[in-house]
Structures are given as C-alpha cells and as structure tokens.
Structure 1
Amino acid sequence: MPADDLTAERRRKIDELAALGVPAYNVDFVPSVTLDGARRVLADFEASAPAPADGEDAAEGPDVRVAGRVMQYRQQGRSCFAHIEAEDDRLQVWMRLDRVGEKQFAVVKLLDLGDIVGVRGKVMRTRRGEPTVVADEVTLLVKALQPPPEKYHGLQDQETRYRKRYLDLLASVEQRRHFAARTTVVRALRRTLDGRGFLETETPILQPIPGGGHARPFVTHWNALHTDVYLRIAIELHLKRLLVGGYRRVYEMGRVFRNEGLSPRHNPEFTMLEAYEAYTDYNGMRELTESLIVDAANALGPQHSDEEGGTVPCDDPLRRSFSGRELVLTPPFRAARMVDLVAQAFGFDPLDAWDELPDRARSLGVHLPPGAGPGTALTEMYEQRVENELWDPTFVLDYPAEVSPLARKRSDDGRFVERFELVVAGREVANAFSELNDPIDQRARFEDQARLRAAGDEQAFHLDEDFLEAIEVGMPPAGGLGIGVDRLVMLLTDAATIRDVLLFPTMRPRRRDGTHEEDSHLSPSRRAEES
C-alpha cells in the first residue's frame, strides 16, 4: 500500500478510536518495570513457585505494568499476540478478549505497527517457553501515523539511515546498542582522567578569535555588540589559560567546529577531548594516551564476530578487528620519528636534502601549497605517502616547527618540535605537544602565521593577543593532548565512516531534483587521503 494510503488508513483509525471515546495520544500510564525487569520478576516468581505438572499451563506470576512500541502484531480470533520494544529490549504481550473486555479489545484490533502501548497484566511463560505479559488492561499511548521500517530487512537505504536516524534506530536493536557503545567510551575516557586528578572544565564555544588549530572557522554575528564571533575550532588556548591560573591538570570533552568539507573521516562539528598537565611533556602525554585508549577498549569488552565471521573472535578486548584486519592495541605502542618514516618510504634522508626538500618533494609527485618550506614539505610527504600505511598504533614523533606553532622546539634541533600524533589504521587519533610556554617565541610564531594568513592561507593561526598576555604572566612547562573522540569510537566499534558513530551527522543539502550539492571544500591532500 502506498505511504499516503497507509497514513490515511491510520488517520481513519484515529476517528474510530474517537468514536469509542479513546484518545489516540495518552499520558495516563506509568510503567512499573522495564521489559527486562518484567522478565526478572518472572524469573524470581518461577524460582519460588512449584513447577507445573505435565500438560498444565504455567502459573501466572505477579502483576506488572510495561510500555513499548508495537513491532510485531498478529491477531488470532479473540486474542492477539504482539512484541513491544523499548530501549534495546523486547517482550511479548498477549491480549485476550476475555481478559481486557469488549471496549479494550476493540482498541487492540485497531493497533498498528509502530503504535506505543501500555500494558498491565500478569507475567507468565507460554508453552513455547517465551516470557509474556498477559494483559488485563491495554492503554493506547501513541497512534503512529507512519509505519516503522520493515523489521525483517531493516532500513536498507544508507542515506535515509543518516538523515532520519530515528528510523534507523527503530529498525535495529543492534544500532541502538552500537550508539550506546559510544557512551561507554566517553565514560571510560572521563573515568581515566578523573582518576588521575584532572579537573573537567567548560570553556567558550563562541570566541572573538578562533585559535588552537589549522582550520577555517564558522563565523556568526553577535547582534547586541554588532561584532562577528567564531565557533571554536579547538579547545586548547583556554585550557592553557587555566594552567596559567594555577590548575595543574585540566581537560574538556566537547564539540568543536571546522568549516570544511564532508568525508568518511570529517564532519564539520565533532567531539574533541583535550587535556593539559603542568610539569610534564609529550612523553608523559604518550603514557596518558595509551592508558586512555586501553581503558576505553577494556570498557567496551571483547569484540564479537559477525554472522559472516568478519571480525576477529577473541576474548582479549585489546585485539580487535577494523575493516577486516586485526588491530592490536596492546601497549607499549610503537614510536618512530616522522623524518625516519619518510626516509624509509622515499629512499633518502630528508635532513640531508633539507633546503631543497620542497623541490625534491614536488619532483616526486607530492602536492605542496604555495610558499611551502622544508617543514611543510616533510609533513606533506609523510601525510600523502606514509600515514595511510601505518596500521597498528604508532606514535609519530617530532613534527617540523613550521607546521606546529604551539609546540616547544627540540633543544637539539630547532627545526623540529616535541610533538607526536598517534596513528592507528592509517588515521590520526591523537595529537600531543610539549607545550610552548615562551611568550617571545610564541609571538614570533604567531606573527609568522599572520603573514601566511595575509598571503591567503585561511587555515593559518590568528594572532591572539589575550593568550600572549596570559603566557607572559607565566605558564608552567606542560604537556597537552587532543583525541578525536569520534575517530576513536570508529576504531573501537569497527565503523567505516564517521557518520556511523554520530547520531545526527551533517548531510549535504538536497537539491529539488533529489541530488546533492557537491563537496569542493576539501584540500587536495584531504581529497587524496579520502580517495
């Protein structure tokens, strides 16, 4: 039946309900137990009740009140069996004319898939062994005007799953459990940091100057003050101000916003965890990063194989599967300098060709932005040819100072800074520094970034005078860490795209003909990465 006809049929049933004096939308029902709670009530009753004799029906147990959405429904003469769902659970209810009476059974016959009902009755086990609530009273709570997705095949259209997540969740208990796994990871991250004495904080999302990352910001307007403000692209600079203020360990987990394109790994708004600790460095952040990821994996527990055996069945939660390959998260993670990884991949030592490195990279087919220096060339060589090949967790150490304006330079070679990125399955998961706390050096680097902005680089850092003034007061030596929470959840749940771990991902606008606006906003290196 066409969708419009189904909706019309359901509206007609609302009129029939009204004729019976039954509201289609009712709030006069409160469950006494969850669906799983009803099963536990039955189990407790059966543990104390005598077993029925052969051929006898099982005894009815205590009275319960349950509520849920009707996801299966079959009428058999004067009785009706239905399965209702709530959260990640389902339970059978049995509605009989001789128990609920003529008026309520008339309501039962008007039920459709997707309706929400409240049922009061006795718990029992059917002859087939299924826990069931035998209804003494049925209350229609919500009449659904549109049917839920077809239960057997689920919601097949991928785009509809993302655009109408409520249908995706209705169609699959597994999807509801999948997104609950994200909450488990977030709780584990918080638990680890809280246990180490970090203070969770909240810092501004609307900022006068976007700082702390290389990204194009979103701009909005503050009407009362007649000024533009920006949605934050990172949390970093405000947390460092807190170190100046006297806190030793601080963190925040929250949304950040970057005005860039969409891809399997990029969404314009995403969740970032940033943590800062005084009197440590990027080596301390390496140990913290390992602990956060290991604790999150352990909190999720072992990964189970799918129906096709596509994952790695293993009781060890640190041995997981991602994209059909085994992923070992057992610490200590491998560590390697960026310059050594590039030397191995390209067959020559970049340090020996430092001054000529931009020309050398271009001759080898590496795309570079205009005006790129040796540090940018080295970074692009790594990102375009090496990063995607790193599978098991690898700390990539010592980035060029040219691309790291907020990190402390190495004392033995000022071309590089004490910075690492953790790469897992070819994807950056974490980024950490020994933080730069020299206000003179920081000002000089901000001024270098300002020149890049003036030359047309929209992702270069803004010069933040308030932050400079803060560290002029004196910021203790510190280590800082950022973890992309969405990417971590992707790895731990074997999700192919960031849209599979965001309940409501950003989607391209649809044109009137149903096609989409094309995404032309990714940089060439990002497009190469996503291809």
Structure 2
Amino acid sequence: MHMLTLLFLPILKNKNLNRQFFFNNKFLTLFEHNFKTNIIKAQFTTMTEKREHVISDQKKANPPPMNANKEDDAELDPRLYFENRSKLILSQQEKGINTYPHKFERTITIPDFIEKYKDLQNGEHLEETILNMTGRIMRVSSSGQKLRFFDLVGDGKRIQVLANYSFHDKEKSNFVECYDKIKRGDIVGIIGFPGKSKKGELSIFPKETIVLSPCLHMLPMKYGLKDTEIRYRQRYLDLLINESTRNVFITRTKIINFLRNFLNNQGFIEVETPSMNLMAGGASARPFITHHNDLDLDLYLRIATELPLKMLIVGGLDRVYEIGKVFRNEGIDNTHNPEFTSCEFYWAYADYYDLIKWSEEFFSKLVYHLFGSYKILYNKDGPENDPIEIDFTPPYPKISLVEELEKITKVKLDQPFDSPETINKMINIIKENNIEMPNPPTAAKLLDQLASHFIENIYQNQPFFIIEHPQIMSPLAKYHRSKPGLTERLEMFICGKEVLNAYTELNDPFKQKECFASQQKDKEKGDTEAFHCDAAFCTSLEYGLPPTGGLGLGIDRITMFLTNKNSIKDVILFPTMKPVN
C-alpha cells in the first residue's frame, strides 16, 4: 500500500469526502516524487489537519440515523426502538404509503416450497418461476449494500431469503431503501424465484419484497424467551420465539384429533350441551356463578357435562360424547386451572369392565400413534432432574381403594364409612401421619385425602387404576354388584395425577335420590363441593336409563405427560393469570 494511502485513510473512510478529496495515479506519482522535500511535507500536514477538521464537523452536522444498521437496533432500549419504529410507520402513512396492505396473493407456502425445490443443484436458479410467498422475518443480515439475507418463517418452517441487487426489480423500489426498512419480526410478502445458493442452501430470490405488517416491538434475541410470566401472558410472543411451545400445542391438537377419531370410529356421536345451567352438577366442585339480567336469575357455569349427556342416553342416543370447556372455582396450581378441557362419553349397555378395556386400548394406541413406542420419558421432577420411563403397554395394575388403605394402614375401615367410629379412625390415621386435615372432615373427603397420600403415587413407571370407591365418594356411580357399600368406579393415575374417571352409571332413580340426600347432609356440614340434588335429572331416570358406562378424561393433564411438561399452564394457550398489578 502507498505510504500516502496510509496517511489518507481517515479521509478515505468518509465516502462524501472520498469523492471530494481523491487522488489518481498521477496525483500519487507527483507526491511520491516530491515527498522528501520539507515544503511538501508541511503542505501535506496542513492539508491533513484541515481535512480531519472537516470530517469531524460533518459527523457532528450529519450523525448516522439511529437505525442505520442492524447492530444499532440490537443495542437500542426496547422502548426507544418502539418509538422510532412507530414514528417511521406513521411518517410513511403521512406520505400516502399503505403500511398495512389489505391483500397479498400467496401462491406457495414455505413447507410446500421446501418440498418442491429441495432437490435443486447448488447455485441453480429458476428465474422464470415466479412465486408469491409470505412469512415473518426472524433473522436479518447483510454482506455489503447489495446483498441481504433473511430467515423467513411460516407454517412451522424456515427458509432463507437471499436478496440480491442484481435480481431486484428496480422499477418498483430502490433496493437499499426497500431492505433497510425491513426489521426482525416484520410480516412480508416475497415475489421471487426459487434457487440454491452456491453453498447449497435453498432460498427464495426476491424481485420485490413488500412489508405486509411491520413489527413495532423488538423481539427477544439470542437466548429466546425464558420468562414464564411473559410466556403465559403474551402467548403470541412465546409462539413466535420458542419453537418448542408451538410443538406442544401441535401435539395437543393431535391428541384431541386422535381421541375424536377413536370415538367416532366406535360409533359415538359428538354433541354439545349447555355451558350455563340452573344448577351445577355432575362433579364435586365449586362452580362459577353468573347472572342473567333478562330472566333475573343466577346461572352456573358447568363443572361437568355428565348429567345432560346421560339424559341423551335416555333419549335413545346410545353413544354420545362431548369435548369442551368446564369451569371450576377452585385453586390454581401445576395441575389445576379454573377453565380446562375435558372429554366425557356415555356408552349404553357398557359397564365398568368395558371402560377399563377402553382406557387401556385408548392410551396405549395414543402413545404409540404419537411416538411409535409404548414407552416415553417424563421429567416428573422437572427438566433439571433425570427423567423416568413410563410404559403404556397394557394391561395396567388395578388397586381396590379401601382394601389398599386397610393393607397400608393396618386399620379396618368398617361400614358405613360415615359412621362416627370410622370417621374417627380416619382422622386418627391422618393425624398420625401428619397429613393435612380436609375441611370439613366428611367421610368422602377423608377417604379422598387418605387415597391421595397412600395410594395415588404407588406406581411411577406405568399408568394404573384405583377401583371400587365407596358409594359415599361416588353419588352418581352404580353400586358394586358383589361388594356392598362400594361402587363400580375407576380412576386412572399417571405419576400420581388423575387423568381419567369412569364408572358404571347409577340408573336406579330411587337410589340416585338417596345418594343426593346423603350429599345434602355433607353440604349442611360445610362441604361446598358436595353434589346438588338435580330434580330434572332424577325425572329423566324415571323414564329409564339403560345400563350405561360413562367416562371423563382431562385433555390438559394428558397433554402434560405426552409433551413432558410439569405445569398445566404450559399446555393451555391462555391460562388463568392474576392481574399484573
């Protein structure tokens, strides 16, 4: 490099001055010839100092724009980024530019583009094949002013956009102006042709790029979005940044679709029942209450769909099911959300033994459908700990609730279970084992608490059933045909969490009224979750409910296990959250 070139570098770095103060070969030759003279040295020093002052003055007068390059964007405060981007969009609108076009005709999706052109050769371009593609920009980079690179994301796939000045339609827009205004997060429409870069990366080469909806906010970078509060409150942002979140909800959809097809193929029909009712029934839970202004009466959001579905069985629809939301005004924790999705089905002429077989068949086939194996890994104690293996190969173990409690505690629980003697025995067991006392300590709640502590976690590596619950715990279940005081009921547990509840349905209207009367006694003792006596349902039983099996399962909890999540909030798109303030 010429010595003078080194001395002139500060000047040459400024493009404007470069045009004003340049030297050609003749100029260099002249200076090199006279460089040794003191006069030229002095002139050169003076000239350089003057030019440096000019450069400094010009920089002060014309500072680079805040968003001159992508690195500047990354360093901006998010609020300042939002303000700058908003001002830019508003200024464009004032100039008559449509910054939110009404329509862009897409001719190919990103997944279809990848599938169709994946076999192109390195460096091959199909310039005659013009396509319209849409997506969101998730990466922005450049190589000089005439080559820009973007990652375009859509439909769960990613493709490179390779914007080359040579291919740009210069009649439509200025290349630099067009691509300088495109930021990470913008939704764009690409009009271009398919090809592969010289290194073999499949790309779309745009002739024109149109911003369809600018992203005004700075998207999280580098390490993604980890803050769970933001992920739950701004699920749209979570879905944009974290591909794993998108996969969770795709799997959830697959689970629901598999369940729906499984039931449809068995001759069940899908129905819809009311979400608001004059009475909350079908489960032990506290309901949400709303008020109908025109009728001036309180209505209850459903806590289960059981009673109206069984009325449909009375009406001659022998196999019915409903997948939908239910609402329970209870606590929020890792496995409970006030609004959740359940599936209930009712099957005329089936019983609890049929339901056990159905459950084993459904879960084993579902897991195999999703994973190609009956075994899955689940991080029961969180992602930071080693996972356990859960084997869904049927059959699953069955444990009789009362028999197992008596075996573990070595205490005989005599019937009736709500007698003062048996209640005192259960209270003593709870106190001796430092178990939380239920409130109020009714027989049903005591039995449930003991089962939760002693039985529900027995099997960790496979699903299992707790069966033969006492009648006092199951007012809608049919009494056991050979074990007085018990019912033909089953609950299925995975890693200590209930995912399914089913039983042979009680179809005797006289015994059903007796069970409701027993529940009323618990309600008088302060049990707000005890069943109401539903007179309309009892009347329907008087018309004849055939022998029936019914089953309910929780979609959210099943999704938790099959997506390896420990919180129900991770599998509900918009979980219930406290207000920010």
Whether TM exceeds 0.5 here: the answer is yes
Match of 2:392 in 1: 329
The code of the aligned residue for 1:161 comes to R
Alignment of 1:159-174 (within 5 A): 159-174=229-244
1:60 pairs with 116, 126, 139, which one?
Answer: 126
Q: Helix, strand or coil: the match of 2:426? A: helix
Instruction: Rate the CA distance shift 1:15–1:472 in 2: closer, same or farther, 3 A.
Output: closer
Match of 1:114 in 2: 185
In the aligned structure 2, how far is the partner of 1:26 from the partner of 1:79?
26
- Displacement of 1:87 in angstroms is 2.4
Match of 1:312 in 2: none
Instruction: Rate the CA distance shift 1:331–1:104 in 2: closer, same or farther, 3 A.
Output: farther
**Is 1:175 the equivalent of 2:241?**
no
- Displacement of 1:58 in angstroms is 2.3
Match of 1:529 in 2: none
Q: Is 1:401–1:407's contact at 8 Å kept on the other side of the alignment?
A: yes
Match of 1:526 in 2: none
**Is 1:388 the equivalent of 2:457?**
yes
- Displacement of 1:453 in angstroms is 2.0
- Displacement of 1:41 in angstroms is 2.6
2:89 pairs with 5, 14, 35, which one?
Answer: 14
In the aligned structure 2, how far is the partner of 1:344 from the partner of 1:129?
68
The code of the aligned residue for 1:11 comes to S
In the aligned structure 1, how far is the partner of 2:90 from the partner of 2:553?
54
2:407 pairs with 339, 344, 348, which one?
Answer: 344
**Is 1:438 the equivalent of 2:508?**
yes
Match of 1:525 in 2: none
Alignment of 1:190-339 (within 5 A): 190-302=260-372, 316-323=373-380, 324-339=387-402
Match of 2:138 in 1: 71
Match of 1:521 in 2: none
Instruction: Rate the CA distance shift 1:16–1:132 in 2: closer, same or farther, 3 A.
Output: farther
In the aligned structure 1, how far is the partner of 2:526 from the partner of 2:415?
31
Match of 2:33 in 1: none
Which deviates more, 141-150 or 462-471? 141-150
The code of the aligned residue for 1:5 comes to L
Match of 2:115 in 1: 40
Instruction: Rate the CA distance shift 1:255–1:283 in 2: closer, same or farther, 3 A.
Output: same
Instruction: Rate the CA distance shift 1:135–1:19 in 2: closer, same or farther, 3 A.
Output: farther
The code of the aligned residue for 1:403 comes to M
In the aligned structure 2, how far is the partner of 1:489 from the partner of 1:341?
29
Which deviates more, 487-496 or 89-98? 89-98
- Displacement of 1:496 in angstroms is 0.7
Q: Helix, strand or coil: the match of 1:67? A: strand
Alignment of 1:510-525 (within 5 A): 510-511=580-581
Instruction: Rate the CA distance shift 1:283–1:499 in 2: closer, same or farther, 3 A.
Output: same
In the aligned structure 2, how far is the partner of 1:99 from the partner of 1:504?
44
Which deviates more, 253-262 or 31-40? 31-40
Q: Is 2:125–2:194's contact at 8 Å kept on the other side of the alignment?
A: no
The code of the aligned residue for 2:151 comes to H
Q: Is 2:348–2:546's contact at 8 Å kept on the other side of the alignment?
A: yes
The code of the aligned residue for 2:458 comes to E
Which deviates more, 133-142 or 450-459? 450-459
Which deviates more, 127-136 or 13-22? 13-22
Deviations 1:178-200 (A, max 9, x none): 21000000001111111111111
- Displacement of 1:510 in angstroms is 2.9
- Kindly, what percent of the aligned residue pairs are identical? 34
Deviations 1:419-458 (A, max 9, x none): 0100111110100011000000001111221232233221
Deviations 1:385-423 (A, max 9, x none): 321333221111100111110011113333111101001
- Displacement of 1:318 in angstroms is 3.5
Match of 2:448 in 1: 379
Match of 2:204 in 1: 133
Instruction: Rate the CA distance shift 1:493–1:344 in 2: closer, same or farther, 3 A.
Output: farther
Alignment of 1:493-512 (within 5 A): 493-511=563-581
- Displacement of 1:357 in angstroms is 3.1
RMSD, matched Cα: 1.9
- Displacement of 1:174 in angstroms is 2.2
The code of the aligned residue for 2:442 comes to A
Q: Helix, strand or coil: the match of 2:118? A: helix
Q: Helix, strand or coil: the match of 2:552? A: strand
In the aligned structure 2, how far is the partner of 1:104 from the partner of 1:35?
26
**Is 1:123 the equivalent of 2:200?**
no
The code of the aligned residue for 1:148 comes to L
- Displacement of 1:327 in angstroms is 0.5
Match of 1:358 in 2: 423
- Where does the alignment leave 5 or more consecutive residues of structure 2 unmatched? 1-75, 381-386
- Displacement of 1:352 in angstroms is 9.1
Instruction: Rate the CA distance shift 1:474–1:10 in 2: closer, same or farther, 3 A.
Output: same
In the aligned structure 2, how far is the partner of 1:480 from the partner of 1:207?
21
Q: Is 1:280–1:478's contact at 8 Å kept on the other side of the alignment?
A: yes
The code of the aligned residue for 2:395 comes to P
In the aligned structure 2, how far is the partner of 1:147 from the partner of 1:395?
50
Q: Is 2:189–2:209's contact at 8 Å kept on the other side of the alignment?
A: yes
The code of the aligned residue for 1:337 comes to S
Q: Helix, strand or coil: the match of 2:190? A: strand
Deviations 1:321-350 (A, max 9, x none): 342111011111111111232233323443
Match of 2:15 in 1: none
Q: Is 1:120–1:137's contact at 8 Å kept on the other side of the alignment?
A: yes
Match of 2:42 in 1: none
Which deviates more, 94-103 or 198-207? 94-103
The code of the aligned residue for 1:358 comes to I
- Displacement of 1:287 in angstroms is 1.1
- Displacement of 1:146 in angstroms is 0.8
In the aligned structure 1, how far is the partner of 2:328 from the partner of 2:90?
49
Q: Helix, strand or coil: the match of 1:266? A: coil
In the aligned structure 1, how far is the partner of 2:332 from the partner of 2:212?
40
- Displacement of 1:20 in angstroms is 6.8
- Where does the alignment leave 5 or more consecutive residues of structure 1 unmatched? 303-315, 512-531
1:447 pairs with 490, 497, 517, which one?
Answer: 517
Instruction: Rate the CA distance shift 1:19–1:73 in 2: closer, same or farther, 3 A.
Output: farther
Deviations 1:436-483 (A, max 9, x none): 000000011112212322332211111111101000011001111010
Which deviates more, 229-238 or 440-449? 440-449
- Displacement of 1:317 in angstroms is 4.2
In the aligned structure 1, how far is the partner of 2:338 from the partner of 2:165?
55
Which deviates more, 57-66 or 72-81? 57-66
Instruction: Rate the CA distance shift 1:411–1:112 in 2: closer, same or farther, 3 A.
Output: same
In the aligned structure 2, how far is the partner of 1:385 from the partner of 1:41?
57
Q: Helix, strand or coil: the match of 1:473? A: coil
* TM-score, length basis structure 1: 0.88
In the aligned structure 2, how far is the partner of 1:92 from the partner of 1:328?
41
Instruction: Rate the CA distance shift 1:382–1:80 in 2: closer, same or farther, 3 A.
Output: same
Instruction: Rate the CA distance shift 1:99–1:371 in 2: closer, same or farther, 3 A.
Output: closer
Deviations 1:472-517 (A, max 9, x none): 0110011110101111111111111100100110012233xxxxxx
Match of 1:93 in 2: 161
- Displacement of 1:15 in angstroms is 4.5
Match of 1:490 in 2: 560
Q: Is 1:169–1:176's contact at 8 Å kept on the other side of the alignment?
A: yes
In the aligned structure 2, how far is the partner of 1:387 from the partner of 1:28?
55
Q: Is 1:339–1:350's contact at 8 Å kept on the other side of the alignment?
A: yes
- Displacement of 1:18 in angstroms is 4.2
The code of the aligned residue for 2:332 comes to L
